[in-house]
Amino acid sequence: MLDLLRSGKLEFHAPDAGAFPCLGLAYRALEAKPSVPVVLNAANEIAVGEFLKGRIGFTSIASLIERAMAAHVPVEVCSLAEVRKIDRWARDYSLEIAREVQLKV
């Protein structure tokens, strides 16, 4: 078990946005309308799944998410049905992007 009291001094630094591009996308989603985090989550799940299947490269994950977020027209979300509709669109769109990336490899 990790004992933080015994592990010594901990130092925290600002994250490197260049090394972690998905972090910047997450901050953008948080600042946008409520539908954008839904798109980010769905696109991320598709991108990571395609990466784990060996269909896209690791560095394509952030690009795929960013493209899905850019293609989405942000809206207010007032119901679970709307969340599901946005989620379905984002998953379908992300799969299309992933297929394009696969063809280029």
pLDDT band with cut points at 50, 70 and 90 for residue 56: very high
- Average pLDDT score over residue span 82-88: 98
The Cβ of residue 3 has, within 10 Å, a number of other Cβ atoms equal to 6
User: What's the pLDDT score for residue 2?
Assistant: 83
Residue 88 reports pLDDT greater than 70 = yes
Domain residue spans in the chain?
35-104
Residue 47 reports pLDDT greater than 60 = yes
Percent of the chain with pLDDT over 70: 97
Residue 71 reports pLDDT greater than 80 = yes
Look up residue 30 and give its two tokens: 């948080």
| Reported CATH class of domain 35-104 | mainly alpha
Distance CA(84)–CA(13), nearest Å, equals 37
Taken in order 7, 9, 15, 16, is the CA torsion positive or negative?
negative
Distance CA(83)–CA(89), nearest Å, equals 10
User: What's the pLDDT score for residue 103?
Assistant: 65
Residue 10, classed as helix, strand or coil, is: coil
